[in-house]
Amino acid sequence: MSRIFQVALGILAAIGGFVDIGDLVFNTQAGALYGYDLLWAVVVGVVGIVVYAEMCGRVAAVTKRPVMTVIRQRLGFSTGLVVLIASMILNLLTLAAETGGVALVLQLFFDASYSLFVLIAVIALVLIIWVSPFEVIERLFGYVGLALLVYVASAIHLDPDWSAVGEGFAPQAPGSALYAYFAVGLVAAALMPYEVWFYSSGAVEERWEPKDLSINTANAVLGFGLGGLLSIGLMITAAQVFHPIGVQPDTIGTVALGAQVSFGEVGLLLALVGIAFAVGGAAVDTCFAGAYNLSQFLGWEWGKYRRPSRAPRFTLTWLLLFALAFVVIQTGIDPIELTEYAVVLSVVALPFTYLPVLLIAGDPTFMGEHTNGRISNLLGWLYLVVIVVIAVAAIPLLFATNAGGG
Amino acid sequence: MVAMALLLVAVVLAGCNPLNPEELRRQVESFRSIAAEGSLIAADVADDRTKATFVRVQADTLAGEADDGAQKLNDASAPEDLQQHVARAIDLAQRASAALGDLAVSPGNEAVGAQAEDELRRIAAEAEEQAAAINEEEP
């Protein structure tokens, strides 16, 4: 039974990556605009992140090095510093967006001032992280976030044309810049670097060793696979509910409405709870990812498993990130728009995050008998090409489509 | 001082570009979206299968979007051949805002929900027709 709980790390990393506030709306938009036609992009993203998450976890278990340490060692101080700076900005913006997202969900529950809920969200998240051990945080946000499985149930309940759904898993050439924008965005969102920064550091936190590699594989496949399944559920639900009547989702309330249409108030409540914990989980992912990255780069003691007094600079970093995120949200920027900018910024970090991981994971000097097999290597290099294409295409598409506005 | 002047120029210039059919069509489609989503919410109010706070907050949000869109159209300078469409679009937005406002005020009232659902469905259909008409008339 305890081994079932050991996939919580993967689930939390996946939920934070696949169904953060921006992805929830983005997946729903994709389904509303294009029906089932972009399901293939979710699968492409899932396979990519499973490949790389497994590598990151394996590297962490064998070498005891998380991703940022690997980046610095492999790419050198200067490049590592650029990645670090980009990562800190990305993590801060995403943390602000996710915290704002939690506040938006609370507002849908309780209808009071958004600003008040932002403060409550920040305080609640800080308190939970402060008092809870790492495993409890993983399980709380990871498992309660699975209330989003209501969208998978909704997708089935709405009884779509399954042959049309199946056709959506076959890749299609982009018919327009907007379609390409969504395809690139869906793949990029699945490969957001903070997922693996968090995942690999979490693996070190959990003291994984080579004997735990099966747990790593289970985490990567089940955890991120579940994240992909949730994305597919969201998209199919949107295709059934919103696409036929021309709804253009751009709020988290619209996302929740999809579950309500299927299951009434119960569906709504499950959706809102799931969204709150998934988005809260994303806040935890990004806040820790930022603190991990800075600490690892500068050689500080780090880790949630350490008492705050034993890792004071790590602790101060994640607290400071929350304080800065609060300031960012107070500017009034829409959390969903904020994640769109964050995805664009992440494009800078993507190749520099995954290339060092691929090089180390394929190097027998570091990995011994646990070095990449042929399939891992092949998929790893294939996806690196995909990542470079995304990195090149994302910003022009952002401008060409007016950030998806058409 | 210079920054203020530049900002003013930018604001003035932004208002100087006349509204084009593509922009108008997109705005009408967004009104269609607002009304269509509102009709889904209203249907669930009519069937008592939703939560009052959710309805209030989401209906308010949608009404605000409709009002913002109507204001933008009102402030835009439209060429003569689009003015009738603009007037009609503003009317649609105002009607949608009113129906959503009723939902926000009475989120638990099934009769209000049923009435709002009918009205919002009509508005969504009219907006869809209008967007198609603008599309056809585009050179």
Supply the DSSP string of A351-388, one letter for each residue.
HHHHHHHHHHHT-HHHHGGGS--HHHHHHHHHHHHHHH
Task: Give the gap in angstroms from C-alpha B61 to the nearest C-alpha of chain A.
Answer: 9
Instruction: Kindly list the residues from chain A whose CB atom is less than 8 angstroms away from the CB atom of residue B33.
Output: 246-248
The answer, for B106 touching chain A at a CB cutoff of 8 Å, is no
Kindly state the helix (H) or strand (E) to which residue A39 belongs, with its residue range: helix A39-63
**Coil, helix or strand at residue A254:** helix
Q: Please state which of the ranges A5-19, A66-80, A173-187 shows the lowest mean pLDDT.
A: A5-19
| pLDDT (0 to 100) of residue A2 | 55
- pLDDT cut 90: percent of chain A above it: 62
pLDDT digits (tens, 9 = 90+) for A310-324: 999 999 999 999 999
Residue A228's closest CA among A7, A45, A8? A45
Does position A39 have pLDDT exceeding 90, yes or no? yes
| pLDDT (0 to 100) of residue A101 | 95
Task: Provide mean pLDDT across the span A8-17.
Answer: 68
Does position A175 have pLDDT exceeding 90, yes or no? no
Cβ atoms of A31 and A239 closer than 8 Å: yes
Separation CA B44–CA B29 (nearest Å) = 23
| pLDDT (0 to 100) of residue B18 | 86
Lookup: tokens for B123 = 């508005």
Cβ atoms of A145 and A21 closer than 8 Å: no
| pLDDT (0 to 100) of residue A211 | 93
Task: Provide mean pLDDT across the span A99-119.
Answer: 94
| pLDDT (0 to 100) of residue B97 | 98
Higher pLDDT, A9 or B5: A9
Q: Select the residue of B30, B44, B124 nearest A248 (Cβ to Cβ).
A: B30
Separation CA A236–CA A39 (nearest Å) = 8
Task: Provide mean pLDDT across the span B39-53.
Answer: 97
Does position B10 have pLDDT exceeding 80, yes or no? no
Task: Give the gap in angstroms from C-alpha B36 to the nearest C-alpha of chain A.
Answer: 6
Separation CA A166–CA A161 (nearest Å) = 9
Separation CA B50–CA B35 (nearest Å) = 18
- pLDDT cut 70: percent of chain B above it: 88
Pick from A69-78, A111-120, A173-182 the range whose average pLDDT is largest. Answer: A111-120
Q: Select the residue of B29, B32, B61 nearest A253 (Cβ to Cβ).
A: B61
Higher pLDDT, A297 or A398: A297
pTM: 0.92
Inter-chain CB proximity B49 and A111 less than 8 Å: no
In which band, very low, low, confident or very high, does the pLDDT at A1 lie, cut at 50, 70 and 90? very low
| pLDDT (0 to 100) of residue A67 | 85
Q: Rounding to the nearest 10 degrees, give the CA dihedral for residues B56, B62, B66, B72.
A: 120
What are the angstrom distances between the C-alpha of A360 and each of A65, A116, A368, A371, A400? 10, 46, 11, 8, 37
Inter-chain CB proximity A264 and B47 less than 8 Å: yes
| Phi/psi-derived region of residue A76, left when phi > 0, alpha when psi is between -120 and 50, beta in every other case | left
The answer, for A110 touching chain B at a CB cutoff of 8 Å, is yes
Task: Provide mean pLDDT across the span A53-77.
Answer: 89
- For A160-189, letters b (16+ CB in 10 Å) and e give beeeebeebeeeeeeeeebbbbbbbbbbbb
Instruction: Kindly list the residues from chain B whose CB atom is less than 8 angstroms away from the CB atom of residue A265.
Output: 49-51
Q: Please state which of the ranges A249-258, A391-400, B28-37 shows the lowest mean pLDDT.
A: A391-400
Task: Give the gap in angstroms from C-alpha A256 to the nearest C-alpha of chain B.
Answer: 10
Instruction: Kindly list the residues from chain B whose CB atom is less than 8 angstroms away from the CB atom of residue A158.
Output: none
Residue B60's closest CA among B93, B98, B32? B98
Intra-chain end-to-end CA distance of chain A, in Å: 49
Angle between helices A21-34 and A335-361 (to 10 degrees): 100
Does position A16 have pLDDT exceeding 70, yes or no? no
Cβ atoms of A186 and A49 closer than 8 Å: no
Inter-chain CB proximity A268 and B50 less than 8 Å: yes
**Coil, helix or strand at residue A392:** helix
Separation CA A345–CA A347 (nearest Å) = 5
Residue A50's closest CA among A371, A376, A290? A376
Inter-chain CB proximity B40 and A247 less than 8 Å: yes
Task: Quote the mean pLDDT of chain B.
Answer: 90
Does position A138 have pLDDT exceeding 90, yes or no? no
Task: Quote the mean pLDDT of chain A.
Answer: 90
Higher pLDDT, B7 or A258: A258
Contacts (Cβ under 8 Å, ≥6 apart) of A363: A371
Task: Give the gap in angstroms from C-alpha B14 to the nearest C-alpha of chain A.
Answer: 17
Inter-chain CB proximity B53 and A256 less than 8 Å: no
| pLDDT (0 to 100) of residue B57 | 96
Higher pLDDT, B15 or A385: A385
**Coil, helix or strand at residue A301:** coil
pLDDT digits (tens, 9 = 90+) for A225-255: 988 999 999 999 999 999 999 999 999 999 9
| pLDDT (0 to 100) of residue A57 | 92
Lookup: tokens for A197 = 């920064």
Separation CA A209–CA A215 (nearest Å) = 10
Cβ atoms of A56 and A203 closer than 8 Å: yes
Does position A98 have pLDDT exceeding 90, yes or no? yes
Q: Please state which of the ranges A78-92, A152-166, B95-109 shows the lowest mean pLDDT.
A: A78-92
